[in-house]
A and B are shown apart, each in its own frame.
Chain A
């Protein structure tokens, strides 16, 4: 009986700790799977432009009027590959503030509109991956940034742009790149 209850206590402890780990908030860990198992990108994944047999769309990042000071020189590219295993998005940036955390999202609006809302695979679904595509990264000392995110669903035609923000100031949209 005691052994049975002890087994139950161990199971409860494991379940509670698992629940705690899923509860943790805060910024996702850059360059990989964030806390709670959210996919925020993998810098070692095959870049969008190199996915075999994929249909690739993309363009150059352009500075937005909502960027804070210090980003006037930002530039780079974004690419979305639609393929048999889903979607792959790769971004490459330069002119960023060094050693800073950034977050990028695929948006449904055009860059001329500032990107508007985040693109969702299921419009009625949640606002975190895997229902959205997010790419988290930390800029290098030289001010460059790079990340690839994969999703097992194929993005629809409403995935129109990629917007990058400083993680600390998410309402400042720095730059936008078209995915068409």
Chain B
């Protein structure tokens, strides 16, 4: 086996290990209990409290979003871990309408995995025509699961680098071969 092929094999093994070790962006939801509960109908809505199965990073980027029937954000934008496995966000002081609301959440577990989930519930309590969405967040914005975060970021950038280097080398190699090939001269001359 040539030195080049040995290096390629070693790199392929390394890529496989890194890929297997990276946190999965499609990890399962980890919700054990919540207030309000999925599918419930509630008359009051002061906060969203989520209890997860796994311990959370104390300073992780956790997000709870409360979205109204019109898609507007009605949480207070201040998600925080209030216990080892519990997240809390406040709701807006007043809500504009009854109907089906959505909770979307993501949380970083102590082992670096990102858990996420979503559910709907119904709000049937008092409403206010003057209610306005808080419009500010201090917990990092939307609840999308980061595609390239933590160890996954390292793997991702490594893959991008390897692909770019391989493509560049192949292109340069092909160009060099065209220039030195005697057949090339014959074809262009005929």
Which of A's residues lie within 8 Å of B, judged by CB?
A: 2, 4-13, 15-17, 19-20, 22-23, 25-28, 64-69, 118, 127-128, 168-173
Contact = CB atoms under 8 A, between A and B. Distances in A.
A176 to B, nearest CB: 13
B11 interface: yes
B4 interface: yes
Interface string B32-43: 001001111000
B136 to A, nearest CB: 26
B2 interface: yes
B29 interface: yes
B162 interface: yes
Chain B interface extent, by class: 35 or more
Given A15-B12, A19-B16, A169-B119, 18 more contacts: A7-B8, A8-B2, A11-B8, A13-B167, A16-B159, A19-B155, A22-B19, A23-B155, A23-B159, A26-B25, A28-B26, A68-B38, A68-B120, A69-B122, A128-B28, A169-B102, A171-B118, A173-B38
Interface in B133-190: 145, 147, 152, 155-156, 159, 162-163, 165-167, 169-170, 173, 176-177
Given A5-B4, A12-B11, A23-B22, A171 B16 contact: no
A8 B170 contact: no
A13 B171 CA distance: 13
B7 interface: yes
13 contacts: A4-B3, A5-B4, A9-B4, A9-B166, A12-B8, A13-B166, A19-B19, A25-B24, A64-B39, A67-B39, A128-B26, A172-B39, A173-B39
Given A23-B155, A68-B39, A8 B4 contact: yes
Contact of A25 (B31, B147, B155): B147
Most chain A CB within 10 A, of B5, B31, B122, B176, is at: B5
A74 to B, nearest CB: 12
Interface of B: 2-5, 7-9, 11-12, 15-16, 18-19, 22, 24-29, 31, 34, 37-40, 100, 102-103, 117-122, 145, 147, 152, 155-156, 159, 162-163, 165-167, 169-170, 173, 176-177
Contacts of B24: 25, 128
Contact of A6 (B9, B15, B162, B169): B169
B111 to A, nearest CB: 13
- Across the A-B interface, the 5 shortest Cβ-Cβ residue pairs: A25-B25, A8-B4, A15-B12, A171-B119, A68-B120
A7 B120 contact: no
Contacts of A2: 173, 176-177
